[in-house]
């Protein structure tokens, strides 16, 4: 009962808009469906929000919370990547170790490509037109030709990958969670060309990129954000963040990096210069709001969470049916 009370109190605080460094939770929209969730992706062309949820991906109007579409048949779904230049989208589904390809306009299925077990993060690189899944248990990356849907190769990684990002120029970066490493994958050669330790970071999860300066922001489970120089292959700074991080984003328009944390906080860090970073502060969100998407035009952040039943034994708290919620975090003008 105490856990439920605390979570309800945090929810109330978020609605009230607790102390925030220029960002505030302004809206909450109920969403359909039950079960777990993972990655979110904002569609800047169609102004839609893609949210992975259980066995399907829901497509939402982020301004109203209205459901615009549903992509079913993606068991144990994790990630979604969008390729507006190809008119396609790509979904990683660990339940069938497949990459599900769909039409970006109609949301209808176009086929699948086979990935290795536990395909998790899903990326798209516009230079090569390759879609890439990072496969946690397999310790690999599956690379697919986005235009044809054919697998062009598999890259062996030095451990279990978590989040990844593309620099838009043919390189994919990935956190290696179990080894606390960051790797750079050259999509032209399908090889790891750089790797470096993220110490003092432990168990890196979320990853974001400042593509202009090749700065990488890794969210670490020991409550640090490790910031790397992607060209030199080394950590250049660390800043404190909240607990249970799962996602990071970077807003090139404001120079802000974000860490969404399962403890109900959103850490905001400013890139003062390519080698200087300042923690701006913390936005109170809602417990469990650990993954996010960013609209770079409006600088709005989207997170999802649910209410949780009290945990029993060693089990994780389970989402309460009917409580799935979209949070909108807006920047003060």
pLDDT in tens, 122-169: 999 999 999 999 999 999 999 999 999 999 999 999 999 999 999 999
Torsion of CA 263, 177, 225, 251, to 10 degrees: -90
The predicted pLDDT at position 319 comes to 86
Assess whether pLDDT exceeds 50 at residue 2. no
- pLDDT at site 11: 41
Other C-beta atoms lying within 10 Å of the C-beta of residue 322: 12
Report pLDDT for 179.
98
Residue with tokens 């248990």: 137
pTM exceeds 0.85 for this model: yes
Please write the tens of the pLDDT for every residue from 247-277.
Answer: 999 999 999 999 999 999 999 999 999 999 9
Q: In Å, how far from its chain's centre is CA 160?
A: 16
Both tokens assigned to 130: 């390759």
Mean pLDDT of 30-41: 92
Q: How do the domains of the chain map onto residue ranges?
A: 48-197
Stretch 206-231: mean pLDDT: 98
Domain 48-197 in this protein, CATH class:
mainly beta
161 pairs with which residues across the strands? 176
Give start and end residues of each alpha helix (H) in the chain: 2-16
**At 316, is the pLDDT very low, low, confident or very high (cuts 50, 70, 90)?**
confident
């Amino acid at each position: 009962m105490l856990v439920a009370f605390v979570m309800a109190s945090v929810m109330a605080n978020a609605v009230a808009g607790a102390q925030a460094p220029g960002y505030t939770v302004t809206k909450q929209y109920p969403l359909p469906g039950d079960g777990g969730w993972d990655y979110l992706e904002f569609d800047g062309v169609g102004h839609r929000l893609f949210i992975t949820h259980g066995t399907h991906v829901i497509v939402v109007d982020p301004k109203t919370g209205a459901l615009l579409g549903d992509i079913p048949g993606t068991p144990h779904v994790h990630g979604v990547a969008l390729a507006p230049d190809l008119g396609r989208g790509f979904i990683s589904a660990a339940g069938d170790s497949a990459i599900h390809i769909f039409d970006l306009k109609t949301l209808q299925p176009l086929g699948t490509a086979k990935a290795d077990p536990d395909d998790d993060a899903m990326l798209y690189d516009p230079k090569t037109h390759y879609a890439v899944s990072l496969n946690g248990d397999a310790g690999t990356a599956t690379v697919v030709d986005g235009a044809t849907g054919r697998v062009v190769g598999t890259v062996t990684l030095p451990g279990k990958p978590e989040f990844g990002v593309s620099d838009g120029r043919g390189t994919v970066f990935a956190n290696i969670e179990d080894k606390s490493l960051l790797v750079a994958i050259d999509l032209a050669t399908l090889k790891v060309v750089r790797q470096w330790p993220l110490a003092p970071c432990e168990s890196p999860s979320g990853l974001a990129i400042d593509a202009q300066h090749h700065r990488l922001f890794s969210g670490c489970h020991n409550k640090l954000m490790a910031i790397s120089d992607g060209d030199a292959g080394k950590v250049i700074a660390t800043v404190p963040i909240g607990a249970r991080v799962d996602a990071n984003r970077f807003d090139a328009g404001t120079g802000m990096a974000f860490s969404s944390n399962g403890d109900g906080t959103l850490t905001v860090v400013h890139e003062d210069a390519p080698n200087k970073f300042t923690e701006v502060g913390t936005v109170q969100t809602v417990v469990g709001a650990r993954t996010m998407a960013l609209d770079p035009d409006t600088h709005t952040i989207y997170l999802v969470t649910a209410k949780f039943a009290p945990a029993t034994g060693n089990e994780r708290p389970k989402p309460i049916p009917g409580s799935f919620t979209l949070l909108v975090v807006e920047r003060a003008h």
